[in-house]
Amino acid sequence: MPGKRPEPSFEFVQLLTSHQSRLFAYVLSLLGDRTQAEDVMQETNAVLWRKAHEFKLGTNFGAWMLKVAYFQVMAHRRKLTRDRLVFDDDFIHDIAEDAEQLSDVQEEKQRLLKGCIGKLTERHQDLIRSRYTEGASLKSIAAQSDQSENTIKQALFRARAALMECVKRQTTEEAV
């Protein structure tokens, strides 16, 4: 078939899927309406997929994705302005800049958090994984480890405190 685009690479698919929560938070912050944000996010994902061949691996995927999302939000807003009164483009542009900065900060905190999780004791890593990745209840973790719920609660408290301290320390060290 003439003009057929190549399929996106595995790496591109991984980047796209790993950035979905960041993309949704950004679009939602610009629109303020969950239903509209979901619609724009679907359209943004479709555009990103169509333009996958334009993205250069090794460059900043998050920034590229948010720029595409920004243009999709603006297109959505143009459609809305035909129907009713909406905020002006300058206001949305200012919100977009703020949201992009917050998104970058959040991504950096997640990176630091992953590194700090690796510094926890094996027991604390297992507890964090069970509770927050697998969604296990305190009761089920206690039953599996043959400990009381209170003991598990205390251990999770200590693990979270260690993570917060580690992230703060890493943030301070990187700022210097």
112-132 pLDDT tens trace: 888 999 999 999 999 998 888
- pLDDT tens per residue, range 118-171: 999 999 999 998 888 888 899 999 999 999 999 999 999 999 999 999 988 888
- pLDDT tens per residue, range 38-73: 999 999 999 999 999 888 888 899 999 999 999 999
pLDDT of residue 1: 47
Residues in the chain: 176
CA–CA separation, 53 and 107 (whole Å): 24
Residues 1-108, CATH architecture: Orthogonal Bundle (1.10)
CA–CA separation, 149 and 142 (whole Å): 5
DSSP 3: T
CATH number, span 118-176: 1.10.10.10
pLDDT of residue 3: 61
> Under a CB-based contact definition with an 8 Å cutoff, are residues 91 and 82 in contact?
no
- CA 108, 47, 88 angle in degrees (round to 5)? 75
Q: Write down the domain spans for the chain.
A: 1-108, 118-176
The answer on pLDDT for 85 being more than 60 is: no
